[in-house]
Structure formats: C-alpha cells, structure tokens
Amino acid sequence: AQKVTQAQTEISVVEKEDVTLDCVYETRDTTYYLFWYKQPPSGELVFLIRRNSFDEQNEISGRYSWNFQKSTSSFNFTITASQVVDSAVYFCALSEGPNDYKLSFGAGTTVTVRA
Amino acid sequence: ETGVTQSPTHLIKTRGQQVTLRCSSQSGHNTVSWYQQALGQGPQFIFQYYREEENGRGNFPPRFSGLQFPNYSSELNVNALELDDSALYLCASSQTGTFNTGELFFGEGSRLTVL
C-alpha cells in the first residue's frame, strides 16, 4: 500500500521568509514517482514537479527547490523568499509508474504568506 | 489555465439522488482521471479512463461509475447519493504514450453538496 504523510497542517510566514514543506512516503515498489502540486483558492491543482525513484538529484526552479532522499523516504519542498502569491495548499503525491496516474496524495499543507 | 473544463462548478443534491459531472480534457490528452477531495483532505483517486475503458479504480463503491467518449471527454456518475459524497470532484487529463510527461492537468472541480 502507498502512503504519503505531510505532517505540517498549516504554516504561516512573513513575506521573504523561507518555508520548507515536509513529505514522507511509504511504498514497496522500487519504481515510483513523487509529485508536488499547488492548490490555490480557485481549486485546480497546479503541477510543480515530478521526480522518479532513480533520480535523487535535488532540483531548483526559481524560488522553488526540492530535496529527495530515498534513505529517509522524504521529498521535501522549499520556497525561498516567499511571496503572498505563494499562499495555497501544497500536496505531495506518489504513483507507481509513468503511466499510472493513480496518485496517492498527502493531506496537504496550507501555506499562508503574510505581507 | 490547464485547458481542462468541468461542469457544473457547484451543485446541491439530496440524499438518494443521482448526479452526473462532466469533464472536457485538454486537447491532445487521451486519459482522464477523477478524484474526490473532501474538505480539508487530499484528493482520493476514484478511477481513470483510457481509450474509453476504465483503466484502474480506487476504493470507491460501484455506485461511482464513469464514461469516456471518443473525443476523450468524460463523465462521472454517482448514484444513491450519501451525505459523505459531499466533496470537490476533480478531473485530470493526461497523455498516456510516447509523449507522456507524467503531468496531470486538473480542472477547477465540481463542488457537490449532498443534503
């Protein structure tokens, strides 16, 4: 069975602070994919990143960065110099294969960035 | 915008009724997945359709059913509505095959309230 745990329910920061969202996953598969999605108040989930289980390189995209560590089954997400527009619910998710869109989502972390 | 459109955006039903939700996938996408998101929780996978056939199902009873049409649009039908069916129903389209990137494109959802 797959399971994704996002231990932080809510995080509140002041603009320009860095914020790190934790994600811990469980799977018996050796091949799997990890995702992060952002859900603004409008409701649609916005894709941020997909990482496969064989690629442990950290990734940076603008103010976003991801730290994937198989040894601790974690896939953490950091927003650097947060902005008010980053306020949203962020979900970590897991799937078993490239054509398997049965994503198992965590419960989400609500990020509030105050001006 | 993702190009995935869902209708209706909001609806209210009473217990025992039936509901049909509709989704138009992004142009060029051949796979549609449906997710249920209860308030304050992460989305839960309902099922996926590929080439008009159900291609994977989550832990949902048979009263949740779906269709995919030749133009890849899709419907989610729920019979004998229960109070716990109140949720945001999200449709996601993707491309299964050579050009697969593993990204799901979500619509803004249909919010169903069951009274």
**Radius of gyration of the CA atoms of chain A, in A:** 14
Which run of H or of E encompasses B81?
none
d(CA A86, CA A31): 31
Q: How many CB atoms lie within 10 A of CB B27?
A: 9
Q: Is A106 on the interface with B (CB under 8 A)?
A: yes
Measured between CA atoms, the residue of chain B closest to residue A33 is B102
Residue type for A8, please?
Answer: Q
Q: Is B92 on the interface with A (CB under 8 A)?
A: yes
d(CA B72, CA B28): 9
Q: Is B33 on the interface with A (CB under 8 A)?
A: yes
Amino acid A7: pLDDT: 93
Contacts of A32 (CB under 8 A, 6+ apart): A2, A25, A52, A53, A94, A95, A96, A97
- Tokens (6 digits) for A39: 């859900």
Mean pLDDT of chain A: 91
Phi, psi of A86 (to 5 degrees): -80, -10
Residue A10 has pLDDT above 70, yes or no: yes
Mean pLDDT, 10 residues at a time, chain B of 115 residues: 89 98 89 94 94 90 96 95 97 73 84 97
What confidence tier does A56 reach under pLDDT thresholds 50, 70, 90?
confident
Amino acid A97: pLDDT: 67
- Short-list A98, A4, A23, A21, CA closest to A53: A98
Amino acid A26: pLDDT: 95
Distance from CA of B41 to the nearest CA of A (A): 5
Contacts of B61 (CB under 8 A, 6+ apart): none
Residue A100 has pLDDT above 80, yes or no: no
Q: Are strands B87-94 and B105-106 parallel, antiparallel or unpaired?
A: antiparallel
Amino acid B103: pLDDT: 78
Q: How many CB atoms lie within 10 A of CB B113?
A: 13
d(CA A99, CA A50): 13
Compute, in degrees rounded to 10, the torsion defined by CA atoms B99, B104, B105, B111: 150
Size of interface A-B (CB pairs under 8 A): 67
Residues of chain A in contact with residue B90, where contact means CB-CB under 8 angstroms, are: 43-45
Contacts of B80 (CB under 8 A, 6+ apart): B16, B18, B63
C-alpha to C-alpha distances, A68 to A4, A45, A72, B67, nearest whole angstrom = 14, 21, 9, 37
Residue A19 has pLDDT above 90, yes or no: yes
C-alpha to C-alpha distances, B63 to A95, B14, B26, B47, B74, nearest whole angstrom = 25, 16, 27, 12, 16
Query: What is the rounded average pLDDT of the residues A1-7?
Result: 86
Amino acid B97: pLDDT: 63
Q: Is A46 on the interface with B (CB under 8 A)?
A: yes
Amino acid B102: pLDDT: 67
Measured between CA atoms, the residue of chain B closest to residue A98 is B102
